[in-house]
Amino acid sequence: MRVIFLGDIMGRSGRQIIAQKLPDLRKELNADFVIANGENAAGGAGITEKICHELFDCGIDVLTGGNHSWDKNEIVDFIESDSRLLRPLNYPKGTPGKGHHIYRASNGQRILVINLIGQLFMDSYDNPFTAVEEVLAENFLKANVDFILVDAHAETTSEKMAMAFMLDSRVSCVVGTHTHIPTADAQILPGGTAYQTDAGMCGDYNSVIGVVPETTISRFKTKRRTSRIEFASGAGTLCGIIIDTDNSTGLATEIQPLRIGPNLLNTH
**Can you give the pLDDT of all 268 residues of the chain as single tens digits?**
999 999 999 999 999 999 999 999 999 999 999 999 999 999 889 999 999 999 999 999 999 999 998 889 899 999 999 999 999 999 999 999 999 999 999 999 999 999 999 998 988 899 999 999 999 999 999 999 999 999 999 999 999 999 999 999 999 999 999 999 999 999 999 999 999 999 999 999 999 998 888 888 888 888 777 667 888 889 999 999 999 999 999 999 999 999 999 999 999 7
Name 176's bridge partners: 152
What's the pLDDT tens digit per position in 216-247? 888 888 877 766 788 888 999 999 999 999 99
Q: For residue 261, what pLDDT is reported? A: 96
Is the Cα dihedral 197, 100, 240, 203 positive or negative? Answer: negative
What is the C-alpha to C-alpha distance for residues 241 and 23, in angstroms, rounded to an integer?
16
Global pTM reads: 0.95
DSSP character at residue 141: B
What is the C-alpha to C-alpha distance for residues 188 and 156, in angstroms, rounded to an integer?
20
First and final C-alpha spacing in the chain: 19
Q: For residue 226, what pLDDT is reported? A: 63
Q: For residue 180, what pLDDT is reported? A: 95
DSSP character at residue 191: T
| Domains of the chain as residue ranges with CATH | 2-260 (3.60.21.10)
Nearest CA among 175, 101, 91 for reference residue 139: 101
What is the C-alpha to C-alpha distance for residues 76 and 58, in angstroms, rounded to an integer?
23
Active site residues: 68
